[in-house]
Amino acid sequence: MARSPRILDPSPGESPPPEQPQSAPQPRPRWTPVCGTLIASCVVLYLLGHNHLLPALSSKPDGMELAQSGIPLALYGPLVQQGEYWRLLSCVFEHGSPFHLLFNMMVVYSLGFMLERSIGSWRFLGLCFVTALGGSALSLFVDFDRPMVGASGMILGWAGVMLPIATEQGRRQLGIWLVQMVVISLIPGVSWAGHLGGFLFGLPCGIALKLGRAVYARALPLILFITAVVAMFAAHPERRWGF
């Protein structure tokens, strides 16, 4: 039985695990708390009835229309501007169609579980905040008046984290996947800005991880603070450039 390729480098200061015999069975993915909670929350919310989003997402309603449209967690600039800042994060739990939900949860299972197991759940949770906020921030800069839902921006941020710490073979695999995501991002109705924002804010987290877990522990609060400031700036276009 061929061994699955190693995608991530061992953490700095740690020795790689011993090689297993070629015939050794591959362990099943362990259920991790952050990704597990994300999948369960998204599925439960969808099954509870927030599955009629496409008609609302295809239009540009005002704040009152959005509040009445059954998208209680969506990212929507005018409502964030009014103080509903929780939408910057809550939007990752809403999805617009069964395919949207299935595709994102498959990536959470294949990419998120591996990354969370590699770096630890608390470190992973911190970078999830960074990449979710980063995706929402750029979305507001580009499409302030358009409601947006989905975990794709946060997920693309995980790819940005993994690039600096992946093996050469892992980077090739990520590169192929990222090309596919670029194509998907160009489909009408898909927020390319959310994808790009998550990816760009994930990169510095990956660089900090590459330098060591101690560096990451010191850098993450600063990166999170900067991301939050950018998100607040994006949420208040009336304050940009002094007017």
Q: What is the CATH number of domain 33-242?
A: 1.20.1540.10
State residue 69's pLDDT score. 58
pLDDT tens-digit profile, the chain (243 residues): 333 334 566 454 444 444 444 444 444 556 789 999 999 999 998 888 654 544 444 444 555 565 445 577 889 898 899 999 999 999 999 888 889 899 999 999 989 999 999 999 999 999 999 999 999 999 999 999 888 889 999 999 999 999 999 888 888 888 999 998 999 888 888 889 999 999 999 999 999 999 998 999 999 999 999 999 999 999 998 776 554
Which value, to the nearest 10 degrees, does the dihedral of the CA atoms of residues 69, 74, 75, 79 take?
50
Residue 72, pLDDT score: 79
- Distance separating alpha carbons of residues 159 and 85, to the nearest angstrom: 25
Q: What pTM did the predictor assign?
A: 0.81
Q: In this predicted structure, what is the pLDDT of residue 97?
A: 84
Whether the CB-CB separation of 112 and 160 falls below 8 Å is answered with no
Domain boundaries, the chain: 33-242
Dihedral angle sign, alpha carbons of residues 199, 202, 204, 208: negative
